[in-house]
Amino acid sequence: MVFRSFFIVMMLLLGSQTACASDKALHDSPISAIGYFQEEGLSPLALPQVTQRFNQGQFTHAKRQFLTFGINHHATWVRLSLYNPSQQHIRKRLVAAQTWVESVDVYLVQQQLLQQWHTGDAQPADKHLVPTVGYAFDMDIPPGNSEIFIRGQSLDPLTMPIELMDVDQSRSEWMKIHVAIGVVYGILLVLVGFNILLYATLKHSVALYYALYIGCFIIMNFGYEGFGFSWLYPNSPQFQNYSTLFFMVLHGASGLVFVSHYLQISAKKSPLRRLLQIYIIAGILGGAISVALQLHILMAWIAFSFISLTTLIMIAVALLNFTRSIDARYLLLAVSCSMFGLLASALSVWGIIPYSFYGFHGAEFGVVCEAVILAVVVAFRLRNIEQERITAQYMATHDPLTRLNNRRAFEINATSYLQQTENLNKSVSFIMMDIDYFKAINDSYGHHVGDQALYHIANLLSRLHRKGDIVARWGGEEMAMLLPNTELAQAYSYAEQLRQALQDSPLLSEELHINITASFGVSSCINHGQHDTLSDLYKTADKWLYYAKNQGRNRVEPAHD
């Protein structure tokens, strides 16, 4: 799922005062040592008090530059001991805290205060906020020994990825970071658009719920990474603080809704369905109340707990349905990718593996893998559903043996043609065809040969039918044809052509040589668009069909007075 959620859960499990690692050793920068301590009282300490405490050794040494302290409303002070061996000031850029930290105060000191900065997402966004990177500060490091003091305070996890680099180097690194994040967003947006298109064309709700699931992640991550605060609502810090948390809840809720429909749990009246509904409603309601009452810490706990538990629920649901549905296996694979990404993020935070951008943002790349897998599965599933729908529609309108239109489809298509304005006041003809002695074929050779005879005749009609003609198996051994823009004489000639072709095309079955003939009745009229036109044509053609059979069969009889 989302690395922020898993990130904070790991912080809570490990304790609120864990200092973790970066892959950059201290000797790679002007930083010679890092120390930190947390304020204990309710009143913030002044810089002289902080300096005195560090000088008295009342702090913890950090061996690495990436620091994280979990959720704790107490502020944390960090001291960076610097050494500039040159005789000139050197221009450096400091990354002091992640984008969600409420208060970030930075002081550059060399015997006296040289520079200071105050920022954080509890106040309007400023130039120090760099989306996906954190809060950055440009400063001139004086020759010799100096110190940077950083005070960080946050109701969200206090994360301080300390980094001091050249300005040009930072531009290059940040460009790579933003390109990578842009690729992630691009892939996810394409998947959202693809699934919305699937829903618009196929009307399958699972595609819409999947688009909602990924869409909530994008919105949440967009705010979490600082893009929303920096670009869209820089003067709304309160909205920044609560919107990301609330969209974490919505992301988890939409994920469960998607899973419910994906595994068809929502279609079953089961206890699991009821429990999921209660869980989703409780999460959204709890989040809404926390936002309304502006209870930030409670909202953070609800958001982190909800989305983390949601991940476990999705895995549990997939495992419960693992043997019943192949869809559950794909779901488990997809969610596992997300979980491995979360694990990479957590291990990077803990310092168990070297800290890197890709490791720290592993959950986001895991979500991309999850999204791609689920998108492919959903697409194939919807394709199969659509294919089944098309097949069912075809079977509802076609005769399964001859593959011709059935009577229902014939009447729908013929009526539609007759009522179209451009077809009014034009000649139209109708042919009824009946296989001669069809019962005798069934009785003599068996019904399977009778079926072969019907299929044989259907192939002949399909091969000889003209463009625009509507052909159907009317029922039993009868076939019907509507001939647009055809007068009686033309229809008679065409029917005679069919009769002769059938007579000259005996059925070959199991070394049998079976001659088949048919009788035809033909009717015609000028189409005036009346509702009984088709019925009148059929009745007239059927009348003359039976006249042809009474006259000895294997003949065509056109309607005449």
pLDDT 10s digits, 94-149 = 999 989 899 999 999 999 999 999 999 999 999 999 999 999 999 999 999 999 99
Q: Give the SS3 label for residue 237.
A: helix
Determine the length of the chain: 561
State percent of the chain over pLDDT 90.
Answer: 56
What are the phi and psi torsion angles at 33 (to 5°)? -160, 155
Half-sphere exposure of 10 (CA within 13 A, CB side): 24
The pLDDT value given to residue 352: 60
β-bridge partners, 118:
105
The pLDDT value given to residue 346: 58
State the Cα–Cα distance between residues 433 and 481, nearest whole angstrom.
8
Closest listed residue to residue 523, CA positions, set 543, 506, 508, 496: 543
Q: Enumerate the H helices of 56-94 as residue ranges.
A: none
The pLDDT value given to residue 14: 34
Residue at 257: amino acid letter: V
pLDDT 10s digits, 356-411 = 667 777 778 888 888 888 888 877 877 888 888 888 888 888 888 999 999 999 99
Residue 390 contacts residue 105 (beta carbons within 8 Å): no
Give the CATH fold of the 407-558 domain.
Alpha-Beta Plaits (3.30.70)
Give Cβ neighbours of residue 347 (< 8 Å, ≥ 6 apart).
353, 359
Q: How would residue 17 be classed by pLDDT, with cut points 50, 70 and 90? A: very low
Q: Give the SS3 label for residue 30.
A: coil
| 15-165 maps to CATH 3.30.70.330 | no
State the Cα–Cα distance between residues 228 and 240, nearest whole angstrom.
8
Average pLDDT over residues 308-331: 82
pLDDT at 211 over 60: yes
pLDDT at 344 over 80: no
pLDDT at 72 over 80: no
DSSP for 270-295, written as a single string: -HHHHHHHHHHHHHHHHHHHHHHTT-
pLDDT at 440 over 90: yes
Structure token digits, residue 482: 């509507």
Say how many C-beta atoms besides its own lie within 10 A of residue 300's C-beta. Answer: 23
- Of 4 and 124, which is predicted with more confidence? 124
pLDDT 10s digits, 25-53 = 444 578 999 999 999 877 899 999 999 99
Rounded to the nearest integer, the mean pLDDT of the chain is: 87
Which of 149-158, 299-308, 354-363, 409-418 has the least mean pLDDT? 354-363
Closest listed residue to residue 121, CA positions, set 132, 135, 109: 135
Q: How would residue 9 be classed by pLDDT, with cut points 50, 70 and 90? A: very low
Please state at what angle helix 237-262 crosses helix 3-14, rounded to 10 degrees.
100
As to burial, measured by CB atoms within 10 angstroms (0-12 exposed, 13-18 middle, 19+ buried), residue 168 is: exposed
The pLDDT value given to residue 19: 37
Residue 31 contacts residue 164 (beta carbons within 8 Å): yes
Q: What is the pTM of this model?
A: 0.67
The pLDDT value given to residue 12: 36
pLDDT at 541 over 60: yes
The pLDDT value given to residue 342: 67
